[in-house]
With several copies, the nearest count.
Chain A
C-alpha cells in the first residue's frame, strides 16, 4: 500500500540511474542501451511514409509544388533546392544531399559555413565543447564534414547524468542572456518547448558566420524586421528586383508562442512527443513527427473529438492560411519581375528605393508565415495578421514600381516571363539544375564516403577507450 510521502521520494530517483554515457557521446545507440523504449521510438523516425495534406515525413520538392518560391528566392540557395523535412533521423544526410550546400570537393570549399551543421547533429555539441562556438562557426561546412555524422539525438536535449532536459547548443542561451534571462532558471515545463527552440527558430549569421537569433526587439515579424533594419542587415540582394532581402527560417517557436496552445501551457512535446503507454507504464514517445500520425495520443487526451474532426480542424486552418498566403506570393512574384523590368528601362536607385524597402518587408512577412511549416496550425491568426500586413505592403511596393515605370514612360501591363513551373522559373533566373546535380553526385560519391570512414574510425576509437580499464577521463575527445 502506498502513502503519498513514500511515493514522492521514490519519484525523485526515477532516473538517477548510473550509466557510463559520456555527456558528449553523439551516438543515439550509446544512450539508447539504457533507455530501450525511448530509443526504439526514436529509431522509428527512419520511416518516412507518413504524409498529411501539406506536411508529413515524406520528402517533397517544395519548389515543384510551388514554383513561385523559385522567383522569390532567386539569387539565394533556396531557389535551387527546398524540400519538406523528413525528420530528425535524416538531419545530417539531408544537409549533405541538398543542393544548397553545393559540392565542396575539398576542405575549406564553399558555399556554406560550418554553422549549418549546428542544428543537425550532437557532434556539434562535442566540437563546440572542444573548440568554442566562435571558432567552430568560423570554419567551413567542408572543414568539418568528417566530424559531423550523427543526426539529432539524445545529446541534443538531455543531460547524461539524470536525463533531465538541457540546452545543449549555445545560441538560445546567448540570446536569452542578451535579453537578461538565464536559461538555467527555466522550469522543466518550459524546457519541454525550449529544447525545441534551440533549432526551430529564425536565425541569421552574424560576423564570421556566428549563429544569432534576432529576438532582441521581440519575436513577431514586425519586431524582427525592426531588428534587421536597425542593423542594415540583408541575407542577400535579390537579383531581379535588387531588393535587400531577409530570409526567414522556420520561426516555429516564435509563432507558437502567439497561439492559444502556448498560452494555455501546452508545450511542443505534448503534441510531438506525447506519452505512450506500454505495459501500463508511460514514457515519452521519441518518434518526433506530425501529430496527425498519432492523433489518439497527441490530441485526444485533451480533446474528445473524433480523429476525423481533429484532422479537419488542422486542415481547415492550413487551407485558410495557404489561401491568403498564395495571394501574397502572386503579388510578390509580379513585383520582383516588374522591378526587374523597371531597372531594364533605366530606373535609378533613388526612384526605386522606396519600392525595394517595401518588397523587403512584404516578403519577410510572407516568409515568416511560409517558413514555419507547423505555424498554420500553431497560431493561424497571427499568421493571417502577418500575411494581411504583407499583402498591404506588397501591393504598395507594386504601386510604387508602376509609378516609376510611368515616370520612365512605360504605361500599361508589363510583359512578364512564363515562370509557371519549377523548370521554367529556374531557367529564367539562370539555374543550371543538371550541372548542380552532377556536381552534387560527384561530391556524394567521392567525398562523403571518406567522411564516413573517418567517422567510423573515430567512433571505434571511443569504444575501445571506453572498454579500456586503463583509460582516464572522458572516452570521447
Chain B
C-alpha cells in the first residue's frame, strides 16, 4: 500500500516534471502550460535578459531556505496540477509575494536606497504601511492581465510529451 503510494507519487513527480523546480531554466516552469501567460509576458519584458523566474520567485538570501522553498512550492504546484484543481486565475500566495518583494529589493537596492519604497516589506504592506513594488510597477514583468486572454497567441516552448507516440495516436483518435 505504502509502496504503491510512493510509486504513484514518484510517477506524478516525474510526469509532471516537478523535479524541474530545482532548475533555474524558465522553460522548466512552462512545463505546465498553465504557466504560459507568465512565461510569455516575462519573455517580452526587459527582465528576460536579467532575471529568470527563480530570481524573483524563490528566496535568494539563504541557500537552505532557497531549496526548502522550492521543494515546498514545487510540491504544491505539482499536486494541484495533478489533482486538476488549478485556480483560475492563478494568484500569488503570501509566501510567494514575500519572496518576490525581497527579490525586487535585492536587485534594485541601489536605486531605491534613499526612498521609502526600498524599505517596505511584505508585512508592512499588509498593515497598510506601504506598497509592493508591483503596486506601482504594475506591468513588471507580467503585464496587468493574468490570463490567457492577455496572450491568446503567445508562443511558448511546448513541453515534450511524456506519452509515447503510439499511445498518443490512439488516445487522440
Determine whether the beta carbon of A11 is less than 8 Å from that of B113.
yes
Across the two chains, which residue of chain B brings its CB closest to A277? B88
List chain B residues, Cβ under 8 A from A274. 147, 149
* Residue in contact with B88 in the complex, picked from A9, A265, A296, CB distance below 8 Å: A296
Closest to B159 in A: A8
Contact check: which of B81, B111, B163 meets A282 at CB < 8 Å? B111
* Interface check B131, CB cutoff 8 A: yes
Q: Mark A253-277, 1 if CB is under 8 A from B, else 0.
A: 0000000000001000010001111
B84 touching A301, Cβ below 8 Å:
no
- For window 271-315 of chain A, which residues contact chain B by CB distance below 8 Å? 274-277, 279-284, 296-297, 300-304
Within the complex, the shortest CB–CB distance from A264 to chain B, in Å, comes to 8
What separation, in Å, do the CA atoms of A8 and B113 have in the docked complex? 10
Residues of B within 8 A of A230 (CB): none
**B145 to chain A: which residues have CB within 8 Å?**
301-302
Interface size class, chain A: 35 or more
Among the stretches B21-29, B47-55, B69-77, B122-130, the one at the interface with A is: B122-130
- Is there an interface contact between A279 and B112, defined as CB atoms closer than 8 Å? no
A434, CB-defined interface residue at 8 Å? no
> Does residue A5 face the partner (Cβ distance < 8 Å to B)?
yes
> How far does the alpha carbon of A190 sit from the alpha carbon of B130 in the complex, in Å?
8
Q: Does A411 contact B (CB under 8 A)?
A: no
- Residue pair A4, B15 in contact (C-beta under 8 Å): yes
Contact A280 B12 (CB under 8 A): no
Write the nearest CB–CB distance from B77 to chain A, whole angstroms.
12
Q: Contact: A4 with B139, CB < 8 Å?
A: no
B46 CB within 8 Å of chain A: no
**Is A9 touching B161 in the complex (CB atoms < 8 A)?**
yes
CB of A416 closer than 8 Å to a CB of B:
no
Task: Please tell me if B20 contacts chain A, counting CB pairs below 8 Å.
Answer: no
Distance in angstroms from B134 CB to nearest chain A CB is: 9
Establish whether residues B111 and A281, one from each chain, have CB atoms under 8 Å apart when the complex forms.
yes
State the main secondary structure of chain A at its contact with B. Answer: mixed
Contacting residue for B136 out of A10, A11, A13, A301, CB 8 A: A301
Q: How far is the CA of A10 from the CA of B113 in the complex (A)?
A: 8
Bound CA–CA A189/B149 (angstroms) = 10
The answer, yes or no, to whether B168 is at the interface (CB within 8 Å) is yes
B128, A187: Cβ atoms closer than 8 Å: yes
Q: Nearest Cβ in chain A — how far from B4, in angstroms?
A: 17
B81 near A12 with CB under 8 A, answer: no
A283 to B131, CA, bound (A): 16
Instruction: Find A304's partner among B33, B119, B139 (CB 8 Å cutoff).
Output: B139
Cβ of A3: which chain B residues have Cβ within 8 Å of it? Answer: 61
Chain A residue at minimal CB-CB distance from B148:
A282
Tally of B interface residues using CB under 8 Å: 56
Closest chain-A Cβ to B13's Cβ sits at a distance in Å of 11
> Roughly how many angstroms separate A13 CA and B86 CA in the complex, as a whole number?
21
Q: Given A189-B131, A281-B110: A275 and B163 within 8 A (CB)?
A: no
Using an 8 Å CB-CB cutoff, how does the interface string of B96-119 with A read, 1 for contact, 0 for none?
A: 000000100110011111111111
| A4 & B161 in contact (Cβ 8 Å cutoff) | no
Q: C-beta contact mask, A383-425 vs B, less than 8 Å → 1, else 0?
A: 0000000000000000000000000000000000000000000
CB contact between B87 and one of A4, A265, A296 (< 8 Å): that residue: A296
A4 and B82 within 8 A (CB): yes
**Is A6's CB within 8 Å of the partner chain B?**
yes
B162, CB-defined interface residue at 8 Å: yes
Q: What CA separation (Å) do A265 and B110 show in the bound complex? A: 25
Q: Report A-chain residues with C-beta under 8 Å of the C-beta of B168.
A: 9
In Å, the complex CA distance between A265 and B154 comes to 18
Q: Which of A5, A6, A296 is most buried by chain B, counting CB atoms within 10 A of its CB?
A: A5
**Distance to closest chain B CB from A270 (angstroms):** 6
Please tell me if the beta carbons of A265 and B131 are within 8 angstroms of each other in the complex.
yes
18 A–B pairs (Cβ distance < 8 Å), ordered by A:
A5-B161, A6-B171, A187-B127, A188-B116, A188-B129, A274-B147, A275-B88, A275-B117, A275-B148, A277-B86, A280-B34, A282-B112, A282-B114, A282-B117, A284-B115, A301-B146, A301-B149, A302-B145
The 4 A-B pairs of least Cβ separation, nearest first, read A301-B147, A11-B119, A4-B61, A187-B129
Given A8-B161, A189-B131, A301-B146, 18 more pairs with CB closer than 8 A: A2-B106, A4-B82, A4-B105, A5-B163, A6-B171, A7-B109, A8-B33, A13-B172, A187-B128, A274-B147, A275-B115, A280-B84, A296-B88, A296-B89, A297-B88, A301-B136, A302-B144, A302-B146
